[in-house]
Amino acid sequence: MSSLAANALLEWVTLSPADLRALDEKGSGHTSTDPIHVHRAVLGQFDTMVAERRHFHKFPEVSFKEFETAKKIVSILKDDLGLTEIWTEVGVTGVVAMIRGEAGDGPCIMLRADMDALPIQETAEISYKSQNPNVMHACGHDGHMSALLGAARVLNDLKTKLKGSIKLCFQPAEEGKNGAGAMIKDGILEDGPCGPRVDYCYGIHLWSFEPFGVVNCSHGPVMAASDRFEIEVGGKGGHGAAPHASVDAIVKQATLINSLQTVISRSKDPLKSGVLTCGTISGGYAYNIIADKVKISGTCRSFTTDTQEKIKTRMEDICCGVDAMYGGKTTMEYHYGYPPTINAHPECVDNVNRAASKIVGTHRAGLPQKTMGAEDFSYFLQERPGCFFFVGGAREGIIRPHHKSVFDFDERAMLVSAATFVQLIVDQLM
């Protein structure tokens, strides 16, 4: 590619508030009072990103079942972009592809988008509503894939000017099944089975709690560790009219649940965040029978290992305490889930914020964001320097939150996402 052609691709276009309103086909996005700046080539991908996002949304697939999704991605990478280095079934259903710079040696940077949907029946009335019963893209992964594909098209056209390489990672099973770990096990980060060794990794998440035009990226923990527990509260069954001859597991579990809430309010360092939620309770047989057991399940969230261990230890203590109070035997199984997602390398955070500020402005880039949600991108960040960041995509009016049957996002957020990915690579590899 000639320098003239590369310069044309990277020509900046300023989108005024009126221009941005014109891009909002649904008319439901936040009205921006500030312009954004994107490369002309990225703007040229917007309609394609929207079309591909709606295709993915219409045909969602759950974790490790993303067979048709993977086929669609491979088709785009091969037929539209002309890429030849493509690996499939990485981490069961994942797809990996390489864009190799032709201007010299440089680092390998991995850009990741997750592919899986959630087991939720969509209730929003939209033209591209999910066609798969009880499955929908309720977390924005359809937008992640489309934004990365849009960025890949532009970067592939710039490859003659890039020093280094880009590894495109389309990851399965982010929603609790650890697709990142499966891809790491299959060697995505190493030199060998799917391209060169990854030096840096970056991931993005569309965010329904911030308006279009905002990029949240900060140093340190940004998403929490996500653990799961099951407790069986044991008692001694009996007749509802004779409680003195029984150990009432329902009364016992009521004390247990109330006591568990004091772990957060009274046992944890108040300057360190944590959550303990009991999500399910099941037990009992009939209105006049004292239950001999009750089962409880829930989740614990934290940003640090010491908080995580403090919560677990105090839960065990409380289970023993209610046994001493009431009798019976309580057992708890505690399952460690995703570790916290930590942006541990300030230089990588700076890279994102530098790129994003060129697009949305310094006053709307690099805003802090922490959430008790969890992400398996944390496993990539344990292995390589990198950064995970959020792009505002809230719809105007009532929030349509993640993991809800009416979830949706402002599709213009894909423009900011793709532009940030492109600028991130240009800053580091050109």
Positions marked active-site: 116, 174
In one letter, which amino acid is 122? E
In 24-93, which ranges are E strands?
Answer: 36-39, 86-90
User: What is the rounded CA–CA span in Å between residue 37 and residue 309?
Assistant: 45
Quote the DSSP letter at residue 409. Answer: -
Helix axes 141-157, 67-75, angle to 10 degrees: 20
d(CA 61, CA 46): 24
Degrees to nearest 5, angle at CA 299 with 293 and 304 = 135
For the record, the structure tokens of 59 come out as 């045909």
Strands (E) across 266-353 are located at 274-283, 289-290, 293-302, 330-335, 341-343
Q: Using the 8-state DSSP alphabet, how is residue 170 labeled?
A: E
Is the separation of the CB atoms in 214 and 228 below 8 Å?
no
Place of tokens 């509802």: 240
Give the separation between CA 106 and CA 94, rounded to whole angstroms. 25
CA distance 416 to 204: 11
Q: d(Cα 27, Cα 35) in Å, to the nearest integer?
A: 17
Coil, helix or strand at residue 135: coil
Q: Which of 126-139 are b and which e, b meaning 16 or more Cβ less than 10 Å from the residue's Cβ?
A: eebebeeeebbbbb
- Give me 191's structure tokens: 């030199």
Cβ atoms of residues 96 and 90 within 8 Å? yes
- Let me know: does 179 contact 114? Beta carbons within 8 Å: yes
